[in-house]
Structure 1
Amino acid sequence: MQPNSDAGPGDTPSPRVVAVVVTYNRLRLLRTTLSGIAGGRVVPDQVVLVDNASTDGTPEFLDELDYSLPIDVVRLRDNLGGAGGFTVGIDRALAVHDADLVWVMDDDTEPLAETLAESVSAWSSYAEAPEERPAFVASNVVWTDGREHPMNSMIQRIGATHEQKARAAAVGGTTIRSGSFVSLLMDAAAMRRIGLPWADYFIWNDDFEYSTRLARFRDAVTLPASVVVHHTKTFGTTDADPGPRFYNDVRNKLWVFTRSQSLAPWEKILYAGATGRLWLRTFRNSEDRTAVLRYLSQGVRDALRAPRSNEEVLEGSYDLSIHAAPHGSSGADPVHGVEPTGKNKSELEHEGFTLLMPVYHGDTPDGLRRAIASNVHEQTLPPSEVVLVVDGPVGSDLEEAVRESVRGIEQKGIAVSVKRLGRNGGLANALNVGLKLCSYRVVARADADDESLPERFETLVPSVRDGRFHAVGSAMFEMDESFSEIQSVREVETGSEQIRRIAALRNPLCHPTVVFDSEAVGAVGGYEPIPGAEDYGLWARMLEAGYAVGNVAEPLVKYRAGHASWDRRGGWGAARRELVLQRHLRASGFIGPVRWARNVVVRGGYRLVPRSVRIGAYRALIGSRGSRDTEGADGPSHGPTRESRTSRGAHDPRQEGSHLE
């Protein structure tokens, strides 16, 4: 986002905002929309305009358009409806234009001077930690006469907590559960985590499904100060005799209730009841009730099949694999996804990597010193850069250890950056902030109380550099609190099929050991704040997206365990975190209902047994599970494998307890 040239002096806001407009045969209104976007006190950095095969002179208008903002016009071969158009535009905004925030609207939406400025300000000031900010900010939608438009009105989130209400009120808004694509400002990281809208919805309820998916586990607000005008022909809701579009309303709502995980089960019951009442009003208000019943019947019938994949719907009009329309049908440049680097061996050997290490008040000065020594000074392949994220205030002794570590790293000739956060925002937020500071594509994770073996980076980094893996970890030694005794070896699966299979049951990677491709991590939205399972959610999304995830069998990290660590893995708090994790995995589609039920019972029960039983079960599991990797070509090392680990371990007690290991 940037200030308009007429807005006067001021600091340029940091989020990169990309506006997405979808148009079809509404040239007069499109002119108003584009004028409103460009006339704001602040304006987006980029506009993506998707032309849904218009035939009213829109293509000619766009050919001759002299616009004050950078504009990327994507011309589709066919009219794919609002759902298809927004799927294309959002993909373009995320994959090509590297958006931090995506601002979507139809071509009958008129932004006003303060619309974008107010929305971005509310999003930025909602919380210091980006991961605590809203998944989206919805504008206040009015009709042409200034009345609130009933088609786009939002109600307060059902079951909202006092904290959610207070945070929304602090920025002048109301906490909500859903929004419409009539001026919706969305967090791009959250969007990358959940994927794209469903193009097969064509029109209606695609925004309801997508926005509720975004806000399933995140806050969302509507903001009265951010106003847009919705230039619809009539003033009313969808019960105002929608005609043939009633078919889309019925089919798509039923898809939301039966095919999507955007709503919790109890929410589906409430929304289904409200939908039934709306459909009844539509029937009563219609002048052609026979037609309404016909559309209802057709919608119910077609909802029995699942929505088609986006690739199938967009075939011939837009290619998601290159993020562009096929050659000859669009002025948009193709952009390819993550591929093997194509660099020769010599170039890869000289490509650097970043060590990313968060530090928080629970760490110790001596632990940090040993972590830095083992991950920097003692490595046979040292990092090219170190990024330390100090997650909130720390004591004077730990602060001095940070400064001492920085001096030692600089003396070794290695670049170092330190980012100090004003408050402790949790592991996911600290790592996401740190990732933005990493100069290199390859990033190695390390905790500030664990130690790496000297050959860790030399073993793992090359397989990420050359594209064999997008994330790779290793086994690790579990140490006692004093680091004087090895208690056990946390072993791992190494074969690609074994990793995918085990990922539905437990975390497939040991987080303190992992080296990853930061571009691939960013493409799926980075770390999500799932208490105790930030990394698990990330690996699940990477696997779903088709990225290569692997392990080597040899232990390369010494992980601090001990009785305190075992205590944090059990109890009611750990059981609650386990339930939250399983909800996330189920909502993302990574596991089905049967696996969800199994995990809740088995893994949840594991959290509630006495510590001695929990330790015994864990050790028995390690002793009984294992396999030989038969896919030697898949990774740099192979051998007997077994286990996984928690997200942050003893480094941060708040983050433990959601993994049956």
Structure 2
Amino acid sequence: MTKLVCAVIVTYNRLEVLKQALRCIERQTIQPACVVIADNNSTDGTREYLATINAKGNIHCLLLEKNIGYAGGLAHGINYGLTLKQFDYFWMMDDDSFHADNTLADLLQSIQQNDCDIIGSAGFNMKYGVKQKLTARTTLQHADVVLVDGALVKAAVVAKVGAPDEKFFMMCEDYEYCKRMRKEGFKIGLLQIPSTNRLYMGGGGTFTKATLWRGYYHSRNHMLILKQYFSFSSLIGYCITQTKFLLAAAVLAPDRFQRVRFRLKGIWHGLRGVEGKSLDPATLQFQLNK
């Protein structure tokens, strides 16, 4: 029996990159039954292009009224997919990940043959609250967390735990989503997919503008998750992780004062419960929701 897959792709101001990602989806040996594209209010012609392909074949385009980040785009795309029909799986992805023709077929085969509810190609385990990165293998292994970009998740899981939480905007949505799944008893699988080419256009480099604002969201969202799923080991892990990043920024970064300030402000905003888009990645100006 053919399994129905809804592919959800989030995009923002990367029209040519998006077109290449869509061509990769079109070449899959097993085709998704539906492709939902969530656009985060792009200004580079993406919305005009999406208007020309919307409702053609199996493509559905969501033109969001503001930039709600990767987490928000995924949430809206998945929730929209739930209104269309009964799917068996959701395939989540960013617009700068290009998948070889057999990727979806490999994911489907692996998730059907193994005891897991979501499969991703990059992930880690947590030990005493500290992240330990795992090297993906060609045989499936269990993990505590997998990145949702490129991951295939069973629709039954989504029906139970929902979509990734848009309150995170960017960063750590994978971590919280997998914690939510494991709390409900679902199993997470890690599988090497060497044919996937990720450009990492949103966060390349070490001390760049992208890693500056991502550092803020990392410390803020990590704190939000700590408060939601509190344990003493997680608290220790949070302190170790944030101290490591703060020391690296203070010692090595050319913009050390701003970088340290942004990460400390993220910790403070997490304690206060600030959610959503609170720092504009383009202007680096704060716009607090609460």
TM over 0.5: yes
Counterpart-to-counterpart distance in 1, 2:226 and 2:86: 32
Give the superposition deviation at 1:47.
Answer: 0.7
Give the 3-state SS of the residue equivalent to 2:150 in structure 1. Answer: strand
Match of 1:176 in 2: 143
Q: Which residue number in structure 1 is paired with residue 120 of structure 2?
A: 138
Counterpart of 1:511?
Answer: none
Q: Secondary structure at the match of 1:137?
A: strand
**8 Å contact from structure 1 (residues 20, 102) kept in 2:** yes
Q: Which amino acid aligns with 2:266?
A: G
- 2:102 aligns with 114
- Tell me, what secondary structure is at the counterpart of 1:48? strand
Which residue number in structure 2 is paired with residue 253 of structure 1?
222
Maintained 8 Å contact 2:37/2:60? yes
How far did 1:277 drift?
A: 2.3
Q: Per the alignment, do residues 284 and 87 of structure 1 end up closer, same or farther by CA in structure 2, a change over 3 Å counting? A: farther
Distance 1:227 1:249 in 2: 28
Deviations for 1:364-408, whole angstroms, at most 9, x for unmatched residues?
xxxxxxxxxxxxxxxxxxxxxxxxxxxxxxxxxxxxxxxxxxxxx
Cα displacement (A) at 1:73: 0.7
- Correspondent of 1:38 among 26, 31, 45: 26
Deviation at 1:238, TM superposition (A): 6.9
One-letter amino acid of the structure 2 residue matched with residue 46 of structure 1: C
Listed one character per residue, the Cα deviations across residues 288-314 of structure 1 (whole Å, up to 9, x for unaligned) are 0010122023212211233559xxxxx
Amino acid at match of 1:75: L
Q: What's the offset of the Cα at 1:207?
A: 2.2
DSSP-derived class of the 1:89 partner: helix
Q: Secondary structure at the match of 1:204?
A: coil
Assess, with a 3 A threshold, how the Cα gap between structure 1 residues 287 and 238 changes in structure 2: closer, same or farther: closer
Change (3 A) 1:285 1:75: same
Work out the percentage of aligned pairs sharing the same amino acid: 27
Pick the aligned partner of 2:43 from 46, 55, 66.
55
1:289-347 CA distances to partner (integer Å, 9 max, x unpaired)? 010122023212211233559xxxxxxxxxxxxxxxxxxxxxxxxxxxxxxxxxxxxxx
- Note if 1:298 corresponds to 2:277: no
Counterpart CA distance in 2 for 1:268 and 1:187 is: 31
User: Shift of residue 196 of structure 1?
Assistant: 3.0
Counterpart contact for 1:134–1:187, Cα < 8 Å: no
> Do the aligned partners of 2:53 and 2:59 also contact (CA within 8 Å) in 1?
no
Verify: 1:223 aligned to 2:205, yes or no: no
After TM superposition, the structure 1 = structure 2 runs for residues 17-416 of structure 1, keeping only pairs within 5 Å, are 17-65=5-53, 69-126=57-114, 133-139=115-121, 153-155=122-124, 172-216=139-183, 217-225=185-193, 227-233=195-201, 242-258=211-227, 260-261=228-229, 266-267=233-234, 269-270=236-237, 272-306=239-273
Q: Distance in 2 between matches of 1:27 and 1:211?
A: 30
What displacement does 1:195 show?
A: 2.4
Code of the residue aligned with 1:228 in structure 2: it is T
The one-letter amino acid paired with 2:271 is L
Mapped to 1, the partners of 2:54 and 2:167 lie a distance apart of: 33
Superposed displacement of residue 48, structure 1: 0.7
TM-superposed deviation, 1:26: 0.5
Question: CA 1:289–1:137 in 2, change beyond 3 Å: closer, same or farther?
Answer: same
Q: Whole-Å Cα distance in 1 between the matches of residues 232 and 160 of structure 2?
A: 21
**2:32, 2:181 → 1: CA distance?**
22
Deviation, structure 1 residue 50: 0.5
Output the CA distance in 1 between the equivalents of 2:271 and 2:234: 21
The 3 A distance-change label for structure 1 pair 280 and 221 is farther
For residue 137 of structure 1, what is the amino acid of its counterpart? I
1:173 offset after TM fit, Å? Answer: 1.6
User: 1:428-447 maps to which residues of 2 (within 5 A)?
Assistant: none
Inter-partner Cα distance in structure 2 for 1:275 and 1:188: 34
Which segments of structure 1 move beyond 6 Å, counting only runs of 4 or more? 237-241
Give, in angstroms, the shift of residue 268 of structure 1: 5.3
Q: CA deviation at 1:56?
A: 0.4
Aligned counterparts of 2:177 and 2:207: Cα–Cα separation in 1: 22
Separation of aligned partners in 2, 1:46 and 1:118 = 18
CA–CA distance in structure 1, aligned partners of residues 172 and 197 of structure 2: 20
Is the 2:55–2:61 contact (alpha carbons within 8 Å) kept by the matching residues of 1? no
Shift of 1:69: 4.9
Deviation (angstroms), 1:23: 0.7
Q: CA deviation at 1:82?
A: 1.2
Structure 2 residue runs of 5 or longer lacking an equivalent are 129-135, 277-290
SS class of match (1:18): strand
Q: 1:275 and 1:19, CA in 2 relative to 1: closer, same or farther beyond 3 A? A: farther
Is the 1:239–1:278 contact (alpha carbons within 8 Å) kept by the matching residues of 2?
A: no
Quote the Cα distance in structure 2 between the aligned partners of 1:135 and 1:272.
31
In the alignment, the residues of structure 2 paired with residue 66 and residue 87 of structure 1 have an alpha-carbon distance, to the nearest angstrom, of 19
Task: Give the drift of 1:214.
Answer: 1.8
Greater C-alpha radius of gyration: 1
Is contact 1:135–1:215 with CA below 8 Å preserved after alignment?
A: no
Gap change, CA 1:112 and 1:298, over 3 Å in 2: same
- Structure 1 residue ranges without an equivalent (≥5): 1-12, 127-132, 140-152, 160-167, 310-661
Cα distance in 1 for partners of 2:10, 2:46 equals: 12
Question: 1:299 and 1:40, CA in 2 relative to 1: closer, same or farther beyond 3 A?
Answer: same
Q: 8 Å contact 1:18–1:45 — kept in the other structure?
A: yes
- Give the 3 Å change call, closer, same or farther, for CA 204–287 of structure 1 in structure 2: same
RMSD: 2.9
Contact 1:22 1:50 in 2 (8 A): yes
